[in-house]
Amino acid sequence: MARKKSKTLTEAELRLMEVLWRMDEATVTEIMEVLPERLGLAYNTVLTTMRILEAKGYVRHAKPRQGRAFIYRPRVGRSEATRNAVRDLLRRFFGQSHEALVLNILQDEELDEQERQRIRDLLDELAKEGQS
């Protein structure tokens, strides 16, 4: 049976989206010029990933006025992609429970006191807004 296609970004797709978010638009060649050489990605690999991103609705392409290379532009901003990833995480690991996700984060031993205080301050601020 075929695997269900995910609407969230893989690591490889996110890497290319980061480039597009920085550049606003780019051809496959321009994207490749920005990527670290150590990745050793072939042109066809990047092109295939861009087509997958287009099928997922994250990018769109336009034909250039001159030349042959398509120009890709993001259709989804970084914040929307982040929200999509968090929603997927909630669904897959936390049974749609925001509380379970937050508790998991708060119980993480790597969370330092400064981060905990910022979270407390944000919760206090949200509570005050809810009261007004």
Is residue 74 a contact partner of residue 18, using CB atoms and an 8 Å limit?
A: no
DSSP string covering 3-72: PPPPSSPPHHHHHHHHHHHHHSSB-HHHHHHHS-GGG---HHHHHHHHHHHHHHTSEEEE--SSSS--EE
Domain 1-93 part of CATH 3.30.70.20 = no
Is residue 24 a contact partner of residue 18, using CB atoms and an 8 Å limit?
A: no
- Which amino acid is residue 123, in one-letter code? L
pLDDT in tens, 107-132: 887 888 899 899 999 999 999 888 86
Residue ranges per domain, the chain? 1-93, 98-132
pLDDT in tens, 77-89: 999 999 999 999 9
Mean pLDDT of 25-54: 95
